[in-house]
Amino acid sequence: METSRYTLPLLLIAFSFLLTLSAQMTGNFKCGEPGDSPSTCRSLVGYSSKQATTYGNIQTLFAVKKLRSILEANNLPLSTPRAQGVNPNQVVRVPIPCSCSNGTGVSNRSPVYTVKKGDTLFFIASEIFGGLVRYQRISDLNKIPDASEIDVGQRFWIPLPCSCDEVNGQNVVHYAHVVKSGSSLGEIASQFGTDNKTLAQLNGISGDAQLLADYPLNVPLRACNTSLREESLDAKMLLPNSSYSITANNCIRCSCEAANNWTLSCEASQLKPSSTWQTCPSPQCEGAESLFVGNTTNTSCGPRSCAYAGYSNQTIFTALSPDPCSGSGGNSSGPPGNYASTFSSSFSFAMVLIQCALICLCLL
Ligand SMILES: *[C@@H]1O[C@H](CO)[C@@H](O)[C@H](O)[C@H]1NC(C)=O
Ligand SMILES: *[C@@H]1O[C@H](CO)[C@@H](O)[C@H](O)[C@H]1NC(C)=O
Ligand SMILES: *[C@@H]1O[C@H](CO)[C@@H](O)[C@H](O)[C@H]1NC(C)=O
Ligand SMILES: *[C@@H]1O[C@H](CO)[C@@H](O)[C@H](O)[C@H]1NC(C)=O
Ligand SMILES: *[C@@H]1O[C@H](CO)[C@@H](O)[C@H](O)[C@H]1NC(C)=O
Ligand SMILES: *[C@@H]1O[C@H](CO)[C@@H](O)[C@H](O)[C@H]1NC(C)=O
Ligand SMILES: *[C@@H]1O[C@H](CO)[C@@H](O)[C@H](O)[C@H]1NC(C)=O
Ligand SMILES: *[C@@H]1O[C@H](CO)[C@@H](O)[C@H](O)[C@H]1NC(C)=O
Ligand SMILES: *[C@@H]1O[C@H](CO)[C@@H](O)[C@H](O)[C@H]1NC(C)=O
């Protein structure tokens, strides 16, 4: 009975291996905690097809409303046509609506796929959707009784992995990266500007040995800092490095470049407005008539800039950095967008002081 001594440890090793396997296969796109109220956000998946395809086909496959959203996420010009080719194995970033519920993030009942002749669930998951989802997951979430029996014309929801969670206290855009065989956590981390420890923690694995090829890895992409107001209709805009977004009813173009110190950079788009706006409101900073969104001027005391702070259905908000010449408040190093709120809170504090003084006077 020499072997029995090894049976238990071997079983334990096999068991923990299975546990970590299932962690990367299903559990690595955590989102919130079980029991939290559902939340939503935009997430990204990295899609590649073994066959040549087009941006238009990818838009249709993933049910993305506007081709423009794909162009923005890949930093491609707005003039890129739907028929523009995508090479075999070229990775395209596809934006998806993420819904977090019961601690897991999954694309919000979208996209829906219609079964074609010759399809199997395995083929749909690993080939058509590029390995972004496991076929068991499609089967489970669509409550398919027998995964080996699917019919032409049958329609399934494809549950793509995603997340809305902050990582290390920072807002990030989550990206589902399908791991290539032979790659390491360190390589993936440096490719996407993060570190191997963060990747390992987020995905519930301890090192390269547990990195599974052809399965999606949850990669947090750092987003540019913004000056957006909370009440802005695009307050939740998060742009990762080397992407852009047309916002404010088409009137403003914002872009994020790591090289610009991770600060969102916005300017008038020069496009026709959408929605009810006849013309785009002039994105001019109040109190500095010559400064428009995106402008920075040099004053004798230092630079002063006008940043985009969001929009409502009436107007575009701007954020003028404090006047460097009025040195009273010191050299503010905070984000320029907070100037207005700082002003109003110190104003109400002054009002409280005045009221206290009045009450004291009355008491005397
Ligand atoms: C929520 O998750 C917990 C464990 O993570 C599970 O036991 C429970 O069944 C889930 N509830 C729903 C409605 O999926
Ligand atoms: C991260 O990389 C460093 C060196 O490159 C290595 O020592 C460390 O074990 C790695 N950590 C993980 C979790 O892979
Ligand atoms: C961006 O914001 C984070 C916290 O929200 C802050 O720590 C960081 O310094 C900011 N970076 C820049 C360049 O303003
Ligand atoms: C940002 O994106 C550019 C263009 O893709 C790339 O050259 C650069 O290395 C990226 N920087 C970081 C920090 O990710
Ligand atoms: C980048 O941002 C940091 C933190 O806000 C700041 O200390 C640094 O001076 C900035 N660098 C440049 C080149 O603007
Ligand atoms: C301000 O930005 C606008 C475009 O948004 C540009 O046409 C103008 O020249 C800029 N002005 C200055 C002073 O930089
Ligand atoms: C403002 O001054 C800096 C140096 O202090 C200079 O690099 C920059 O070009 C100037 N910008 C303008 C618009 O004059
Ligand atoms: C602005 O939008 C809100 C809600 O989206 C709506 O109730 C309101 O009527 C809109 N105002 C105008 C002037 O369109
Ligand atoms: C603000 O700081 C800049 C350099 O960071 C300096 O040139 C300028 O004189 C300062 N302004 C005041 C009012 O202290």
Which bound ligand lies closest to the C-alpha atom of 27? 1
How far does residue 256's CA lie from ligand 3's centre (Å)?
A: 14
Which bound ligand lies closest to the C-alpha atom of 100? 1
Instruction: Out of 276, 313, 314, 315, give the residue to mutate to test ligand 8, the one with the largest number of ligand atoms within 8 Å of its CB.
Output: 313
Domain boundaries, the chain: 29-222, 243-326
Residue 287 or residue 270, greater confidence: 270
Residue whose CA lies nearest to ligand 8 atom number 1: 313
Which residues lie with the beta carbon below 6 Å from any ligand 6 atom? 267-268, 292, 294-295, 297
Residue 321 or residue 162, greater confidence: 162
Residue 238 reports pLDDT greater than 80: yes
How far does residue 37's CA lie from ligand 1's centre (Å)?
A: 13
Question: What is the C-alpha separation between 222 and 242, in angstroms, rounded?
Answer: 11
pLDDT, one tens digit per residue, over 181-226 is 999 999 999 999 999 999 999 999 999 999 999 999 999 999 999 9
Question: What is the C-alpha separation between 235 and 38, in angstroms, rounded?
Answer: 19
How far does residue 180's CA lie from ligand 8's centre (Å)?
A: 48
The 3-class SS string of the chain reads CCCHHHHHHHHHHHHHHHHHHHHHHHHCCECCCCCCCCEEEEEEEEECCCCCEEHHHHHHHCCCCCHHHHHHHCCCCCCCCCCCEECCCCCEEEEEEEEEECCEEEECCCCEEECCCCCCHHHHHHHHCCCCCCHHHHHHHCCCCCCCCCCCCCEEECCCECCCCCECCECEEEEEEECCCCCCHHHHHHHCCCCHHHHHHHHCCCCHHHCCCCCEEEEEEEECECCCCCCCCCCCCCCECCEEEEECCCCEEEEECHHHCCECEEEECCCCCCCCCCCCCCCECCCCCCCECCCEEECCCCEEEEEEEEECCCCEEEEECCCCCCHHHCCCCCCHHHHHHHHHHHHHHHHHHHHHHHHHHHHC
How far does residue 331's CA lie from ligand 9's centre (Å)?
A: 6
How far does residue 102's CA lie from ligand 1's centre (Å)?
A: 6
Residue whose CA lies nearest to ligand 2 atom number 4: 186
pLDDT, one tens digit per residue, over 321-360 is 888 887 644 444 444 444 433 333 333 444 444 454 555 5
Which bound ligand lies closest to the C-alpha atom of 32? 1
Question: What is the C-alpha separation between 254 and 233, in angstroms, rounded?
Answer: 15
Quote the pTM value.
Answer: 0.81
